Amino acid sequence: MVRILGGLVGLGFVLALLLGIYDTVSNWISNPPQATAEHEFHEHPRKAGFSFEGVLGKYDNRQLQRGLQVYKEVCAACHSLRLVSFRDLEAIGYSEGQLKTIAKGFQVPSINPETGEAATRDGLPSDRFPLVYANDVAARAANNNAIPPDLSLMAKARHDGANYIYSLLTGYREQAGYKNEKGEELLKQFPETKTPEGLHFNPYFATLNLAMAPPIQDGQVTYSDGTAATADNYAKDVSAFLMWSAEPKMGARKTAGFASLIFLVIFCFLAYGAKKQIWRGVKD
């Protein structure tokens, strides 16, 4: 009797599941989801050709240093890098003296030892990059009610992060007349998506419109190594730097993984040889 009741209960669950699937499929067929502007006109990141891509790819320290320069002269006006310490920059080729100079160029929060009141001081290599704004209220007040995100982990927080950042920085377009790969014009198909005042159209952004104005332009930053001062180079360099800030141990991880694969291949050959040696006198 118990088995019969258990079987009936199980059969009931199966029938309920099948009915739910049937209802979902039938609703989808009779009322298919409507196309949205975000789905039809959002573009996937373009490939920038970074040196660290691929199994054996590695960071280019010169590029990372240029990216840091772009961050300091452009991005640091709005975006924090709160999870990165100045001394971490030693990994991209800076000496101890250079680290002290870089840290000194930032003011970090401190306490006045005489009065106990809040104050600021020159940064030290042991400090982290300071926050740009004291709190979200101050950030919104300075940025048209938008909060600039911290960039420490941005390259890992977005799909194809480095290429996404590069595409976003170089992807600002005029919305009027913009067409997707199918040749469809955005405002003709979705006139309600006209970019509101205070926002900027960018097909690489999830909602197509964002509060950040185009941050870079040709000639904005002068590189000391003679690299061309173009917006495309700025975007590539700062994207590479933000990839490093999000995953500074990528090179070590790839090296360890490659060494592990070599070990496993050698181990397989040794194990096979041991098996042949142990069972050599046994006939099938």
Which residues does the annotation place in the binding site for heme c? 75, 78-79, 212
Residue 230: what are its φ and ψ, rounded to 5°? -115, 155
41, 227 Cβ separation under 8 angstroms = no
- Please check whether residue 44 is in contact with residue 166, taking contact to mean a CB–CB distance below 8 angstroms: no
Task: Output the known binding site.
Answer: 75, 78-79, 212
Residue with tokens 């959002």: 42
